[in-house]
Structure 1
Amino acid sequence: MPPVLHTIVIGVISYLVLIAIIRLSGKRTLSKWNAFDFVVTIALGSTLSTALVSTQVSLAQSLTAFLLIVVLQFAITFTSVRSRAIKNLVKSQPTLLLFQGRFQQATMTRERVVEAEVRAAIRESGIADVEGVHAVVLETDGTFSVIPDAGRSDSALQGVAGLPSSRG
């Protein structure tokens, strides 16, 4: 079969099967909750790319690779929900970068985040004054969550690394 026709046939079949596998495996497969999920997304894309351009890889090998990646991701996420050790191994914890208007310098250094990045996240949230921010959290997917200082409780910060135990 000519290479272009091979790419078209393999591409259409691989794409349709990949969509079916993703739909069957659930929304989590393509989530971006943490680095582990990101790796799965990249691996699926890389596998599809290889299937499209390589005449050395059969359709069966490509489909097996798709299935293997999704099954491994399912197994690890299934296990991490039931085992704290596995959860700690594959998932990071959100981290407090600013609390009650004060930058958490030690945490920011450890996470390799500078004040300018935190200030940019605050501005993007429409807040002009750092003092008007209750907390900025570095989430497990690398995004910043900015919580305005609105006199509310800290319940949304439960499980965030670096939250002071005595608040007030």
Structure 2
Amino acid sequence: MNPFLDVALRSIAVYFFMFAAIRIFGKNQLSQLNAGDIVLLLLISNAVQNAMVGSNNSLEGGLVAATVLFALNFLVKKIIFKNPIIKSLIESDPVVLIKDGIVDNIKMKEQQVSFDELEEVVREHGVENIGDVKLAVLEVDGNISVISMDIENNQTKFTHHKRKFPRKSHKY
């Protein structure tokens, strides 16, 4: 077999393996990286490098692997954009945690968001009381968006919060 075709096929296999692994273990773990996450990413990249290029340590082999990964990522993003069924398989859906001041405890438990964390996020958005929250949404990237009602000016206020503790898992 052509050594560059071998690298390309190995790269494709590793790409889809990593896609599946991130989906299973929670892609939203990547919304905010801490030191442990960075170390994990570096170790994973080192671990899968040999799986992609095999014994081919040439510059050309590395460039083929990188080109295949970029092209495959471009293609997957195009497919996700055009096909909602595939998008739902790859990405999670946003989850409403608070609607009109009422907390959805079932959704919070499913998404492993503690009440203390939710209260902290609401306060970080400048809202004193959960009852004043019109909508709080756990976004697909693991962040929480809050829309509150400004009673004095009778208008809504939107803020977006990066989660300190991203989702721990993803439910299919």
Task: Please classify the TM superposition score into its range, dividing by the shorter chain length.
Answer: 0.5 to 0.7
Shift in Å, 1:76: 1.0
Q: Aligned pair 1:75/2:67, yes or no?
A: no
The alignment's TM-score, normalised by the length of structure 1, stands at 0.56
- Give CA-to-partner distance per residue, 1:19-69, whole Å, 9 cap, x none: xxxxxxxxxxxxxxx939x5xxx59x936xx69xxx973322222222222
Q: Aligned pair 1:123/2:115, yes or no?
A: no
Q: For 1:129 and 1:99, how far apart are their aligned partners in 2?
A: 13
Name structure 2 gaps, 5 residues minimum. Answer: 1-25, 31-40, 157-172
Q: For 1:83 and 1:56, how far apart are their aligned partners in 2?
A: 36
Q: What's the counterpart of residue 103 of structure 1? A: 103
The equivalent position to 2:27 in structure 1, one of 27, 35, 47, is 35
Q: For 2:69 and 2:27, how far apart are their aligned partners in 1?
A: 15
Shift in Å, 1:81: 1.6
Decide which moves more: 93-102 or 61-70: 61-70
AA partner of residue 146 (structure 2): V
- Give CA-to-partner distance per residue, 1:6-31, whole Å, 9 cap, x none: xxxxxxxxxxxxxxxxxxxxxxxxxx
The alignment's TM-score, normalised by the length of structure 2, stands at 0.55
AA partner of residue 61 (structure 1): G
- When you count strand as a share of all residues, which structure comes out higher? 2
Q: For 1:116 and 1:57, how far apart are their aligned partners in 2?
A: 50
Q: What's the counterpart of residue 89 of structure 2? A: 89
Quickly say closer, same or farther: Cα 1:141–1:61, change in 2 above 3 A: same
Q: For 1:56 and 1:66, how far apart are their aligned partners in 2?
A: 13
Runs (4 or more) in structure 1 with deviation over 3 Å come to 150-153
Q: For 2:61 and 2:149, how far apart are their aligned partners in 1?
A: 54
Q: What's the counterpart of residue 141 of structure 1? A: 141
Q: For 2:58 and 2:116, how far apart are their aligned partners in 1?
A: 49
- Give CA-to-partner distance per residue, 1:73-106, whole Å, 9 cap, x none: 1111111122122111111111101111111011
Q: 1:135 aligns to what SS in structure 2?
A: strand
Q: Percent identity at matched positions?
A: 26
Aligned residues: 112
